[in-house]
């Protein structure tokens, strides 16, 4: 676990990777258990990152570090269309 770019703890993960379509819980899980504090960025990677790579992500941000360019992709364009339509409808009083 890295906090503000510094290794604060590590532990090997055991067991098998859950590949079901169950939701991913970040900072909480079903029941009366929750983390305190805030998460400002969460990233998922296909392999463990080194401390230098973690610091790169912190320096340039996840969006610039990510392998996929989101601009012009269907989901990004759809989100833009939906938000633009929403704003137009609000201006029209819908």
73 in a structural domain: no
* Total tally of structural domains belonging to the chain: 1
CA pseudo-torsion sign 65, 67, 71, 75:
negative
Place of tokens 């400002």: 40
For residue 91, what pLDDT band results from cuts at 50, 70 and 90? confident
Contacts of 70 (CB under 8 A, 6+ apart): 63, 76
Does residue 68 surpass a pLDDT of 70? no
pTM: 0.47
Per the prediction, the chain carries an average pLDDT of 75
83 in a structural domain: no
80 in a structural domain: no
92 in a structural domain: no
For residue 58, what pLDDT band results from cuts at 50, 70 and 90? confident
86 in a structural domain: no
30 in a structural domain: yes
45 in a structural domain: yes
Backbone angles phi, psi at 14, to 5 degrees: -120, 175
| Contact in structure between 53 and 4 (CB atoms under 8 Å) | no
91 in a structural domain: no
Q: Which of 18, 1, 6, 94 is nearest to 55 (CA)?
A: 6
């Amino acid at each position: 676990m890295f906090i503000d770019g510094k290794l604060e703890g590590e532990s090997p993960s055991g067991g098998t990777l859950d590949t079901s379509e169950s939701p991913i819980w970040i900072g909480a899980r079903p029941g009366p258990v929750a983390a305190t504090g805030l998460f400002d960025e969460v990233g998922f990677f296909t392999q463990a990152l080194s401390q230098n790579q973690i610091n790169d992500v912190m320096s340039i941000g996840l969006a610039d570090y990510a392998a996929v360019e989101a601009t012009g992709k269907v989901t990004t364009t759809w989100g833009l269309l939906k938000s633009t339509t929403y704003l137009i409808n609000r201006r029209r009083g819908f």
